[in-house]
């Protein structure tokens, strides 16, 4: 509750929370707030010339090149972005935390081997590696989430490793060891509690990166496959109409930017609140 009160005092964080709440609420309530199925090709959804309809009172965001209601596809696409953002980033944080804590706590050969593998993974461009992995496996919602998790855990592992190494060298850990505390007790009672704030911040900030990466993969055609709506593949499907029907690109593009910005604002505020070096500065 104290964290929520501090977030509420920050206007940018409050704006981010409001945007996230709207997107999450729309995703959960999608069946009740949209008038059409996201994959329904409406008989009157195109002009006589076969062009998409512009936004009006009936189609709030217009229709796409197949005559489908764009508002319905944007709302259902929010589900895809949130599922992948939360699942993929949650898995990335979990994998990175396990690798980082193990390497930083055990040190020695195990720690060196894990961090050299992490460095090897960091040497590959994340987008290129994600494209290769997505092309190898048959793209689907959960495969895309898995692919993103496989390329995003390395940054978390490096940060957690650094913090774990620093914590294990502090005086209170040395004192615990001198008193005969077992390694599991030191890990559970003194190391992991100090890493929770870092994992929370990375878990929030990383969602924005994950949403953007999913949109990029879908735009390139190796992400979530049609007809499942995704903000990235909506842009990919309709990019040829950019000049004559710009709303087909701008609306999902704005949705991606706003959601990523919202998570970044909240994550940045959480970092300031949970970082003890920032206490008393605001």
How far apart, in whole angstroms, are the C-alpha atoms of residue 188 and residue 170?
Answer: 15
How far apart, in whole angstroms, are the C-alpha atoms of residue 75 and residue 87?
Answer: 19
Task: Please report, for the chain, how many H helices and E strands are present, in that order.
Answer: 12, 0
Who's near 282: CB < 8 A, 6+ residues apart? 10, 272
Indicate the burial class of 32 (C-beta count within 10 angstroms; 0-12, 13-18, 19 or more): exposed
Residue 144 backbone phi and psi in degrees, to 5? -65, -40
SS3 state at 212: helix
What pLDDT, on the 0 to 100 scale, is given for residue 256? 87
Q: Bridge-partner residues for 63, per DSSP? A: 69
* H runs (alpha helix) in 220-246: 231-238
What pLDDT, on the 0 to 100 scale, is given for residue 1? 61
Cβ neighbour number for residue 110 with a 10 Å cutoff: 12
DSSP label at residue 69: B
Query: How far apart, in Å, are the Cα atoms of 156 and each of 6, 147, 152, 162, 176?
Result: 25, 16, 8, 10, 27
Indicate the burial class of 146 (C-beta count within 10 angstroms; 0-12, 13-18, 19 or more): middle
Of the candidates 164, 160, 150, which has an alpha carbon nearest to the alpha carbon of residue 92?
150
How far apart, in whole angstroms, are the C-alpha atoms of residue 114 and residue 45?
Answer: 55
Q: Which two tokens stand for residue 233?
A: 């593949």
How far apart, in whole angstroms, are the C-alpha atoms of residue 209 and residue 81?
Answer: 11
Q: How far apart are the first and last CA of the chain?
A: 18
CB 142 within 8 A of CB 91: no
Cβ neighbour number for residue 203 with a 10 Å cutoff: 20
Q: Which residue has the tokens 């590959």?
A: 124
Q: How many residues does the chain have?
A: 282
SS3 state at 175: helix
Residues of the chain with pLDDT under 50: 277-282
Q: Which two tokens stand for residue 55?
A: 């936004």
pLDDT tens by residue, 162-171: 988 888 888 8
Alpha-carbon 206 to chain mean position: 5
What the chain holds in terms of domains, given with CATH numbers, is 2-33+59-278 (1.10.3720.10)
What pLDDT, on the 0 to 100 scale, is given for residue 281? 43
């Amino acid at each position: 509750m104290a964290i929520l009160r501090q977030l509420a005092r920050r206007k940018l964080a409050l704006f981010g929370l409001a945007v996230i709440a709207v997107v999450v609420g729309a995703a959960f309530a999608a069946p009740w707030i949209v008038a059409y199925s996201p994959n329904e090709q409406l008989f009157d959804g195109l002009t006589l010339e076969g062009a998409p309809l512009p936004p009006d009172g009936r189609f709030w965001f217009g229709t796409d090149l197949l005559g489908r209601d764009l508002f319905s596809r944007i709302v259902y696409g929010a589900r895809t972005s949130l599922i992948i953002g939360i699942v993929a980033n949650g898995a990335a944080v979990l994998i990175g935390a396990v690798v980082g804590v193990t390497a930083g706590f055990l040190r020695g050969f195990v720690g060196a081997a894990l961090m050299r593998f992490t460095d090897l993974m960091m040497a590959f461009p994340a987008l290129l590696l994600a494209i290769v992995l997505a092309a190898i496996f048959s793209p689907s919602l959960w495969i895309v989430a898995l692919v993103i998790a496989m390329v995003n855990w390395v940054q978390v592992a490096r940060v957690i490793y650094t913090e774990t190494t620093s914590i294990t060298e502090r005086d209170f850990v040395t004192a615990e060891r001198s008193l005969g505390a077992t390694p599991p007790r030191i890990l559970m009672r003194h190391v992991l509690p100090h890493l929770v704030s870092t994992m929370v911040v990375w878990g929030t900030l990383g969602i924005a990166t994950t949403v953007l990466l999913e949109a990029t993969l879908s735009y390139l055609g190796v992400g979530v496959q049609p007809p499942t709506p995704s903000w990235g593949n909506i842009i990919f499907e309709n990019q040829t109409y950019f000049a004559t029907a710009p709303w087909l690109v701008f609306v999902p593009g704005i949705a991606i930017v706003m959601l990523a910005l919202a998570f970044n604002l909240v994550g940045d505020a959480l970092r300031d609140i949970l970082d003890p070096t920032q206490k008393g500065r605001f």
